[in-house]
Amino acid sequence: MENGPRGAIIQRDRATYAIVPRTPAGIVSPEDLENIVKVVRRYEIPVIKMTSGQRMVLVGIKEEDVENIWNELGMTVGQATAPCVHYVQACPGTVVCRYGKQDSLGLGLGLEEMYQTMNLPAKLKMGISGCPRCCGESYLRDIGVVGTAKGWTVIIGGNSGGRPRIGDVMAKDLSDDEARDLVRRLLEYYRDHGRPGERTARFVERVGLDAIRKDVLAFAPYVPVEETRSE
């Protein structure tokens, strides 16, 4: 992305680009949608693809059109290649879902806003779910948070890629503030101790869960859980 037009990813044809407008937790406004439709028609963008990260990729853009498209969209660039938070996916939670136990959408939007510019060793994805049904895929994301009737469960080290890994539970039954505090501690620890290019799944395997717990949870006002792979 760095050597091409702003916020653009070169495609397989080595001639056209894709862009990913930032849509925190998959939320878009009517204005966003209208602007997307306008640029897709005006610049004859051939493909609009929904991603697993609750984002919309516009694919097949000519290099000379990229900057004009960003200006007409009026949306910020969603990260797609840089070592940072790429996205926070969140299910609707108590905002609309009848199964919801916690406000996953509110927590997800807050975390996305807070950490979208944080530099990290590698790309990082978060998944926030409003109940143990886990529609936010929280156990398969670098940082996962799951709502229960007792509060939030925070998870680290999940990955759904070529070397998949189910994340480890760090703490349970947390309040909103405690969950945000633990996510911050985990991100800062990973930022300070991760190797370049090392995703959290490999980081947890290398450093060890006990070491992470010992350092991250020192002086934390909540108690870690003993089990690591299940609730």
List interacting residues with ligand SF4 (CB under 6 A). Answer: 91-93, 97, 99-100, 104, 129-131, 133-135
Q: State the nearest-atom distance from the C-beta of 95 to ligand SF4, in Å.
A: 9
Q: State the nearest-atom distance from the C-beta of 102 to ligand SF4, in Å.
A: 8
Residue 11 structure tokens: 């495609």
How far, in whole angstroms, is CA 188 from its chain's centroid? 16
Q: State the nearest-atom distance from the C-beta of 108 to ligand SF4, in Å.
A: 11
Query: For ligand SF4, which is the closer residue by CB, 26 or 100?
Result: 100
Q: State the nearest-atom distance from the C-beta of 129 to ligand SF4, in Å.
A: 4
Query: For ligand SF4, which is the closer residue by CB, 84 or 97?
Result: 97
Which pairing describes strands 143-148 and 8-10: parallel, antiparallel, or unpaired?
Answer: unpaired
Are 100 and 128 spatial neighbours (Cβ–Cβ below 8 Å)? Answer: no
Residue 180 structure tokens: 């945000």
Comparing CA positions, the residue from 77, 104, 90, 112 lying closest to residue 187 is 112
Residue 107 structure tokens: 């927590």
Query: For ligand SF4, which is the closer residue by CB, 79 or 129?
Result: 129
Query: For ligand SF4, which is the closer residue by CB, 41 or 98?
Result: 98
**Burial degree of 127 (CB within 10 A; 0-12, 13-18, 19+):** buried
Q: State the nearest-atom distance from the C-beta of 99 to ligand SF4, in Å.
A: 4
